Amino acid sequence: MAALAHVSRPSRNEQLEIHSPYDGQLVGTVTPASPADIAAAVARAKLAQAEFRFSMPFERRNLLERLAAEIAAEAEPLAQLLCAEVGKTITEARNEVRRAQNTLKLSGDAATFLDGEVLHCGIVAGGVDRQAVVTYGPVGVVAAITPFNYPLNLLCHKLGPAIAAGNAVIAKPSPKAPLTVERLAALAERAGFPNGLFQLVHGGAEQAITLARSQIDLLSFTGGAVAGLALRNAAGLIRCLMELGGNDPLFVMPDADLDAALRTTIAQRFEIAGQSCAAVKKLYLHADIHNAFLDNLTEAVAALRHGDPRDPETQMGPLIDIDAAAFVERRIANAVGDGATLVLGGTRRGALMTPTVIKDVRLESALFAEETFGPVISVRRFVDPVIAIAEVNSGAHGLQAGVFTTDHDTVKLFSRTLQVGGVMINEGPDFRAEHVPFGGIKSSGLGREGVRITLREMSETKVVID
């Protein structure tokens, strides 16, 4: 446990530049990995894991706690780096750094509770007087491919449980946000991670496919459905855990705490400029409160301060790049062309978009029917919740949903009939606790994240009968 971690140092000289989404300034560079670099990283990981698999749970917990402590010691520089390379506000960046520490600490705690069980084989006529001892061991080498929106905490959601289960990890961060992850790898060295146990390879889709095709034992991916399918096909017959996004609704009933629903809508749609997989993308307002709620929503959104993410007063920064912002701008324009009404916003300056509210969007419009990664709320009036639920269930995604109501029968209706991985009551769909299962159905993914359940997902079951 005393040797240092290894950050893969690719052999090619080409550099990938990372620029601030807000002002275009160069933040840093990384070198994309070659196929030989990736193969070498996998070989190192296998050697490291062959020894680490026999580590004790308390050793794994101590390792993760030391990494969490290293993050805490550099919390502000990490937050500033996140703010610069991703464009999230400094407040959002500081929150992500805090959550990453919690994820690692909870993973360390979970390492000490990866319990098995003993089953008797003589429970039916003809059974034998034997006992089956069921235990959970590591799968081996985990490939962790992560997106740009939460580059630190989403990697910790893969790294923490993988290490807690006794695995090695090779991470490939988004080419749009690799620098914070580079710093995490350096902190892992300082924390005493064994050589080869946690490595990085950089690059885009080419490197992701190469890593998926390599001799890994489990692939954990967070990103889009198209990329997820390509990676799953490339990986072949290994276990795949995939969180592939969502088109998440928030329902507000007439009996709800409307002030709380309004605050949640604002917070969970415009965080990191709407670039969250479980953000409030579709706002279903009951007809009885639609007009008044929409008026209050419009006023609140108009008051949002958007601009320089480094300013502590800024509430929303830019999208990840100009192309992403232009894509959202086109979706808004197409929806308006199809008959939607633009209530507020819809303009763009570089990668910075104005917070946007739009209503009367057709169900078939891409803005409403597909996941839109940007700061725009599509508002829909409804009368019958059964019909509104059917609309949501007919979509391709099924990540999470939120419902604001004080009526128990309404809670039962939504929680039992919505086809999603999680239903948040009097909360928005973007709510997540680090130790709670998180993931979706249909095109939203395979398996679940959340420290405790991921620990099992990243373990193999073994049975010994004697």
Question: Residue 429 sits in a domain of what CATH number?
Answer: 3.40.309.10
Range of the domain at 276: 249-433
- Provide Rg for the chain, Cα atoms: 23
Q: Are 93 and 157 within one domain?
A: yes
Q: Residue 156 catalytic?
A: no
Q: Are 132 and 69 within one domain?
A: yes
Sheet holding 117-120, edge to edge: 117-120, 131-138, 459-465
Q: Are 132 and 157 within one domain?
A: yes
Task: Tell me, rounded to whole angstroms, the distance of Cα 422 from its chain centroid.
Answer: 14
Classify residue 452: in a domain, yes or no. yes
CB of 110 closer than 8 Å to CB of 451: yes
Q: Are 155 and 260 within one domain?
A: no
d(CA 28, CA 425): 42
Q: How far is CA 194 from CA 103, 181, 302, in A?
A: 20, 18, 51
Q: Are 417 and 345 within one domain?
A: yes
Classify residue 10: in a domain, yes or no. no
Q: Are 153 and 35 within one domain?
A: yes
Q: Per residue in 190-211, pLDDT tens? A: 999 999 999 999 999 999 999 9
pLDDT reading at 440 higher than 80: yes
Q: Of 70, 92, 243, 371, which residue is the catalytic one? A: 243
Domain count of the fold of the chain: 2
Q: Predicted confidence band at 113 (pLDDT cuts at 50, 70, 90)?
A: confident
> Given this model, what pLDDT does residue 127 score?
87
> Given this model, what pLDDT does residue 273 score?
98
Beta bridge partners of residue 285, listed in sequence order: 252, 381
Answer positive or negative: Cα dihedral of 10, 68, 109, 155: negative
Classify residue 438: in a domain, yes or no. no
What is the residue-averaged pLDDT of the chain?
95
Classify residue 149: in a domain, yes or no. yes
Classify residue 166: in a domain, yes or no. yes
Q: Per residue in 391-404, pLDDT tens? A: 999 999 999 999 99
- Written as six digits, the tokens of 315 are 């509430």
Q: Are 83 and 191 within one domain?
A: yes
> Given this model, what pLDDT does residue 453 score?
94
Q: Are 223 and 305 within one domain?
A: no
Q: Which of 10-24, 298-312, 388-402 has the lowest mean pLDDT?
A: 10-24
Q: Of 70, 83, 277, 329, which residue is the catalytic one? A: 277
How many degrees, rounded to 5, is the angle at CA 238 between CA 235 and CA 243? 75
pLDDT reading at 6 higher than 70: no
CB of 377 closer than 8 Å to CB of 284: no
pLDDT reading at 7 higher than 80: no
- Please state the rounded mean pLDDT for residues 399-410: 98
Classify residue 353: in a domain, yes or no. yes
Q: Is 64 exposed, middle or buried (0-12, 13-18, 19+ CB in 10 A)?
A: buried
What single letter denotes the amino acid at residue 121? C
* 3-state DSSP assignment of residue 447: coil
54-58: long-range contacts (C-beta < 8 A, 24 or more apart)?
A: 54/166, 55/1, 55/166, 57/111, 57/112, 57/114, 57/164, 58/111, 58/112
Q: Are 194 and 153 within one domain?
A: yes
| φ/ψ of residue 153, rounded to 5 | -70, -35
CATH number at residue 186: 3.40.605.10
Q: Are 210 and 315 within one domain?
A: no
Q: How far is CA 367 from CA 76, 80, 236, 327, 375, in A?
A: 36, 32, 33, 11, 12
